């Protein structure tokens, strides 16, 4: 039996537009220099307070915690807009469906997204029933700490050595390596291939379907 743990933002869904817009609004109302898109992409995957502190180029503090709260409010408000989108990347629905039909694979999620955000993604795309174990920013320390992976492995009774962590960020690769799992990067997300390899990726997928061959 093998365990496949997916990141969410930048791996399953393309959410950078709404994340960046919410971040810009948060910084603008605080009178702070607004991050550009590249800066926003670089911190996606981290727990929110750490992500904002990183954009501020300092350690997490009271201000980054306050800004994280405001960001959440802006993000939640954006969900009410008629044009709100967190679309799946091409091939992801087919990949999840194929893995779910296999009797030698378990599926889970390890994400810096909130539990509420994950629930929304699962509801929108209708594959929540396939994810048997989930750890979010509400449950564990921020990536690259290995807790998310290790807790999912323990819950499923699977050794990290036969666990695949699939993500688009350097933090995913570092987390996987820290947990003793296989680090699988994806080329369609927010961090460049070179950064994923430098951070310990065992392999970088060009398309979702390549994962099927890899886990065999």
pLDDT band at 79 (very low <50, low <70, confident <90, very high): confident
Please give the Cα distance from 108 to 103 (Å, whole number).
Answer: 15
Task: Tell me which CATH code domain 16-78 carries.
Answer: 1.10.150
Per DSSP, the three-state class of 176 is helix
pTM of this structure:
0.93
For the CA atoms of 107, 2, 213, 7, the dihedral, rounded to the nearest 10 degrees, stands at 40
Query: pLDDT by residue (tens digit) across 113-172?
Result: 999 999 999 999 998 899 999 999 999 999 999 999 999 999 999 999 999 999 999 999
Query: pLDDT by residue (tens digit) across 149-158?
Result: 999 999 999 9
Above 80 in pLDDT, residue 190?
yes
**Residue with structure tokens 């009797």?**
103
Phi, psi (degrees; rounded to nearest 5) at 65: -65, -40
Percent of the chain with pLDDT over 70: 100
Domain boundaries, the chain: 2-14+86-215, 16-78
Name beta bridge partners: 3: 106, 163
Query: pLDDT by residue (tens digit) across 63-78?
Result: 999 999 999 999 889 8
For the CA atoms of 117, 118, 123, 126, the dihedral, rounded to the nearest 10 degrees, stands at 150
Please give the Cα distance from 98 to 161 (Å, whole number).
Answer: 22
CATH architecture designation of domain 2-14+86-215: 3-Layer(aba) Sandwich (3.40)
Above 90 in pLDDT, residue 83?
no
Above 80 in pLDDT, residue 57?
yes
Mean pLDDT of 43-56: 94
Q: What is the pLDDT of residue 155?
A: 98
């Amino acid at each position: 039996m093998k365990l496949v743990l997916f990141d969410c933002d930048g791996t399953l869904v393309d959410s950078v537009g709404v994340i960046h817009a919410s971040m810009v609004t948060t910084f603008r109302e605080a009178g702070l220099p607004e991050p550009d898109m590249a800066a926003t992409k670089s911190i996606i995957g981290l727990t929110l307070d750490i992500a904002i502190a990183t954009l501020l180029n300092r350690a997490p503090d009271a201000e980054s915690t306050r800004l994280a709260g405001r960001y959440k409010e802006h993000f939640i408000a954006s969900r009410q807009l008629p044009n709100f989108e967190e679309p799946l990347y091409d091939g992801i629905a087919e990949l999840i469906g194929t893995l779910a039909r296999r009797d030698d694979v378990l599926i889970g999620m390890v994400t810096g997204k909130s539990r509420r955000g994950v629930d929304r993604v699962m509801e929108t795309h209708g594959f929540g029933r396939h994810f048997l174990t989930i750890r979010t920013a509400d449950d564990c320390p921020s990536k690259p700490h290995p807790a998310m992976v290790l807790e999912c492995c323990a819950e499923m009774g699977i050794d990290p050595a036969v666990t695949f962590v699939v993500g688009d960020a350097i933090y995913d690769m570092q987390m996987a390596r820290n947990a003793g799992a296989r680090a699988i990067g994806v080329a369609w997300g927010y961090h460049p291939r070179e950064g994923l390899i430098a951070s310990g990726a065992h392999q970088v997928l060009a398309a979702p379907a390549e994962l099927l061959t890899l886990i065999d």
